[in-house]
Amino acid sequence: MESLIDPDEKMADMERLHRTSSPKVINFNEEEEATCIIQLTLLTTSYFKCYILLPICSFLSLFILPIKLYWSVPARVAWMYSRVQRVEDTTHLYMIGKDGNKEIVKLQDLTTEVQKLGQGPIGRSFFVSFLSFSICRFSNTGS
């Protein structure tokens, strides 16, 4: 039985969802699999989920839920974080890499450390596998 959904239409829907729910990513080298980021999702810690909902559901599932959360990053995102729209509200990033790695990384504000070294402000950054990434704002200048 053939699917009624056109594959091109499904891909267009996925791209539209990706554009609206995650910030744009500019990779330094697209061929480098270890540092190529496919998707970033802005997250913040949900205290209601972490301190009320998760303990109750863990107890009711006979503590199988914490084991699931330990091994599944997407489940951890769903049960412990909330998505946000603004970078200012972001505490963590959900990152999907080119090689299929999925990680939750904490944002760090490196402005004061960089200013101590006598350089300009760098803003918020995150580290993945000993590599530093920065969040920058780009204006749409048009061409």
With tokens 């890499």, the residue in question is 97
pLDDT, the chain, mean: 75
Q: How far is the C-alpha of 140 from the C-alpha of 136, rounded, in Å? A: 13
Which H or E run contains 105?
A: strand 102-106
Dump pLDDT digits (tens) for 34-67: 667 888 899 999 999 999 999 999 999 999 999 9
Cβ-contact 127, 139 below 8 angstroms: no
Dump pLDDT digits (tens) for 71-113: 999 999 999 999 998 888 888 989 888 778 898 988 877 665 5
The structure's pTM equals: 0.68
Domain ranges, ordered by start, for the chain: 36-134
- Give the confidence band of 18 by pLDDT, cuts at 50, 70, 90: very low
With tokens 């995150």, the residue in question is 126
